[in-house]
Structure 1
């Protein structure tokens, strides 16, 4: 079974899609895919589909959705060689819930985690070229927002947010590695887009300032700091982190020889000069 959630939802067996088009069965499959090889309790699926006030027919309706998924699985199994495997083996009913069995194949979100972890290890070892390469490789698995074509309930929305945070963390560290490699000019187009999408993300904003500064655009780097500070104060009631203030001061002093330091904690730490 091949599962993709880093973009649109795609679940395939023997090269055949088992992804339904109807919104709620699609949501059931997405939730099972996110927890593949694990039992997902019926109560959790019902909450995902109907929230805190499910209809009396919720369990019966869920069973109908499971049946629809099994029909798609049966069609896909017909294209395989294992005649003993049934749809109930792939989408199993267990006490209290259901479990989707991967049975091998590719899971893009787990592959992303594996590749990103290799990038983080390279970063920690000071291998910035290797970190940039491995993290770029991990990020290449993404084709859009997580589960972009699934109408999420609370459970899927939480999982999608977690995946997006992991993506942003990997992106932040890949940019940090590239800054260490002196690629500040090449980074500017990408960072310009990112800071627009994430106006309060101090790590990205700090990296943008540093890339501008090292590209000889000191005034624009200082303007970026002032925009960030105004946004943080007006939207969150916060002043910029101390490391960001130090970066601004180093730019004011035109300390171009300083080297960035990669973030120790995502969100409030970022690359800084001297």
Structure 2
């Protein structure tokens, strides 16, 4: 007979689930299993089963549950005659003791395996640790004692088990990263880190995995997102370890390299050609090796590199209000990603990255156009209006998931990395323009669209900006501008009623209202 606590309470007898009956019987068995082979006072059982007021008939109901449990545990004794592994529920003052082989309880096996895994990690036996910890985590079948939680029996012990599970996950990811399997665990690591944003060790592991996968920009974006959340919610800066990791990522520190990393290429030394796909120009050595490794002139690990002028739009999405559960957060992020993708494509852009609540779009790929910056800013307005309260877009979000938006736009030369054999995938972007866009995003006030000086100059014929010297946090885009036939400017707000007009095709500006300019954008305090 086996007992499963790491999920809905289940008893398995010779491979067959055993019916346990009502919540009193299942709760009593679970509490006795938690304290297996120890005497549990009757008063303790009564408090566990009736956390509020204990009914007058509680002791009688408990006695009936104990009698039924004894019948379950001793069912078909002839089949088990001579085996010493049978559980027994005995009366022992001042309550009851469940005598059971600990090996038959999944919680005990989980704890034992986790201890072995931690010991292997400490000893540097990472392959062994990864196998042991995966086996331990495989014992979980969902939320511990999920059926009892649904019935209102919420005890402190399952919370401690969940913390042990998260510790085991962190140890597992440490082992997998030490074995060089950063690509294999990135998806799982990202999901766990997103669900547990306050566990900074998980966040550091995700940043390291992203960096080792060639996604330095995404790793830095993850750091900035975590820092903003810590500062805004708790008034705390990231730990010294996380700040050190950010500096190491920025510096391409050698200690971040995986155990068996392929030859690295210094992107900053790429030749200034439109495309690095064929033979390098005469007199140029092509790509330059880093740290003395053998150079490969046309490949950056598994990528082909193209240098061109692009415009980036970064969006940071935060759900407004309190009390969001995991499902509503997931739905909100899914809605946000869909909105960013659709609006970018409608204005001729490409979805580049989606990492948690951070999304980026790319304009100027595959073809560079003179109006890339203007289309990027118009797309930024459309995304903001669609995801914030008062959206009039084709798919406004539900009130429960309306979001606070921070938006930044930057234009400049960048390196686009294309993975070989995956021509349809969006390129990865690196270079100074990506870092500049991140800095703007970190400083952008909620609800505003902030752009760099290059974007402002390129888009000013189409976009109106707040007048004044260039602020350190970029220019605030306030209106979409349309040139009238008489040469005068007709301004229209990018907020409110103008949102519906933004939904025209990117290359055909909408017609302004017949009675003149549209309403001005409400001012958002910096």
Given that residues 9 and 149 in structure 1 are in contact (C-alpha distance below 8 angstroms), is that contact kept between their aligned partners in structure 2? yes
Question: How far apart, CA to CA, are the structure 2 residues paired with 1:74 and 1:122?
Answer: 40
What do residues 33-87 of structure 1 show as CA deviations (whole Å, max 9, x unaligned)?
A: 111111111111111111142122221221122122223234343543259x99x
Normalising by structure 2, we get a TM-score of: 0.46
Given the alignment, which residue of 202, 209, 227 partners 1:229?
A: 227
Given that residues 184 and 214 in structure 1 are in contact (C-alpha distance below 8 angstroms), is that contact kept between their aligned partners in structure 2? yes
How do 1:134-149 residues align onto structure 2 when only pairs under 5 Å count? 134-149=132-147
CA RMSD of the aligned region, Å?
2.7
- Secondary structure of 1:171's counterpart equals helix
Structure 1 runs of 4+ aligned residues shifted over 6 Å read: 152-155
How do 1:245-260 residues align onto structure 2 when only pairs under 5 Å count? 245-258=243-256
Residue in structure 1 matched with residue 80 of structure 2 by the alignment: 80
Does residue 46 of structure 2 align to residue 46 of structure 1?
yes
Residue in structure 2 matched with residue 107 of structure 1 by the alignment: 105
Given that residues 6 and 142 in structure 1 are in contact (C-alpha distance below 8 angstroms), is that contact kept between their aligned partners in structure 2? yes
Distance 1:234 1:157, change over 3 A: farther
Residue in structure 1 matched with residue 218 of structure 2 by the alignment: 220
Residue in structure 1 matched with residue 96 of structure 2 by the alignment: 98
**Structure 1 stretches of 5 or more lacking a match?**
261-274
Does residue 206 of structure 2 align to residue 190 of structure 1?
no
Higher helix fraction (1 or 2): 1
Q: CA deviation at 1:178?
A: 1.0
Aligned residues: 258
- Secondary structure of 2:203's counterpart equals helix
Question: How far apart, CA to CA, are the structure 2 residues paired with 1:116 and 1:242?
Answer: 27
Question: How far apart, CA to CA, are the structure 2 residues paired with 1:20 and 1:140?
Answer: 24
Residue in structure 2 matched with residue 263 of structure 1 by the alignment: none
- Determine which structure has greater relative contact order: mean sequence separation of CA pairs < 8 Å that are 6+ residues apart, divided by chain length: 1
- Secondary structure of 1:185's counterpart equals helix
Given that residues 116 and 132 in structure 2 are in contact (C-alpha distance below 8 angstroms), is that contact kept between their aligned partners in structure 1? yes
What do residues 127-155 of structure 1 show as CA deviations (whole Å, max 9, x unaligned)?
A: 11111122112212222221222237998
Distance 1:105 1:204, change over 3 A: closer
Structure (1 or 2) with the larger CA radius of gyration:
2
